[in-house]
A = this chain, B = another copy of it.
């Protein structure tokens, strides 16, 4: 097994094919990339960093590390309602990185480039004495004048979550050996959700373009914490009903094994689902949209003027949360 060596050889062999002949990428041989936008469009951009051992496990497969890196940023674009187009990669490789690992990493990027319609436009590669550190800058575009943001939630808005809650964090715990005795199906599903989230790109765009959401955020640090950002941004509070949380069959199985309650799912990060507010008169449209996109959309509470987050059990009693969520410090 050979180790990667030669900054320019790595770029030419593995990274330049990801740029292909895209206009403005200069086959990755220039100092910077040129991005063109349709007339009237605005550019949306975000950067996310992932470090081995912190944001992914050192033995996660290389292709899923690549896909997670890209998808985490695409999820940020989705939360704004943007259409993804391109990305830059800044990679700091430990000296013992195997060339086979790098090849698989780039295969993961290639697969997701095709899936999401994005292209590598440039980047920087360097060696590091520390852990593998990956930083990806994603680009998307907004056609009209609007944008989904975190500050426009209205009192009385329904609160929706796409997909299911808590799978990713349970998948991490499975990989750490903290949850035993799961069926193969449940185990695989939770691990898949941890390693390879599904950024809700089509959902975000539809919510913006059809005027269905008032405000949105992607749930990266846990529902409680990210809902907190949405509420703080809008100066509101909310009620969330524990019984209405969307919990997958795999997660239900894991909770049965651990004996834990659903409350813990509120602080599990890494799902990259969209959390958004919508006026009550949008319920039928959202039901139709969920069916159109084959993305579950679950109404789990409402925004209200009274500050703070109230999580209620089936009897309407307040549930205490032990931890607000993840922080990356």
Contact = CB atoms under 8 A, between A and B. Distances in A.
Interface of A: 4-8, 10, 24, 26, 29-37, 39, 42-49, 51, 53-55, 75-77, 79-80, 82, 88-93, 121-131, 133, 135, 137-140, 142, 147, 149-151, 217-218, 229, 233, 327-329
A129 B126 contact: no
Nearest to A72: B124
14 contacts: A6-B327, A30-B80, A31-B218, A33-B46, A34-B147, A36-B42, A39-B39, A49-B92, A54-B129, A90-B137, A93-B329, A124-B135, A129-B130, A137-B137
A31 B47 CA distance: 9
B47 A135 contact: yes
Given A47-B122, A76-B31, A5 B137 contact: no
A262 B273 CA distance: 58
B133 A130 contact: yes
Given A130-B51, A218-B31, A125 B329 contact: yes
A45 B49 contact: no
Chain B CB within 10 A, most for which of A10, A93, A233, A327? A327
Given A36-B42, A329-B127, A29 B90 contact: no
Given A5-B329, A7-B328, A127-B54, A43 B46 contact: no
Given A39-B39, A47-B137, A137-B45, A34 B124 contact: no
A153 B131 CA distance: 40
A140 B32 CA distance: 10
B131 A6 contact: no
A128 B125 contact: no
B329 A126 contact: yes
B29 A150 contact: yes
Nearest to A33: B45
Given A6-B327, A31-B80, 7 more contacts: A7-B328, A32-B138, A43-B43, A47-B88, A51-B92, A90-B137, A127-B328
Contact of A133 (B29, B92, B122, B233): B92
Chain B CB within 10 A, most for which of A39, A91, A123, A329? A329
A128 B51 contact: yes
B150 A30 contact: yes
A8 B54 CA distance: 18
Nearest to A73: B32
Contacts of A122: 45-47
B88 A55 contact: no
B328 A126 contact: yes
Contacts of A329: 4-7, 10, 93, 125-127
A104 to B, nearest CB: 19
Nearest to A137: B137
Contact of A29 (B26, B88, B138, B229): B229
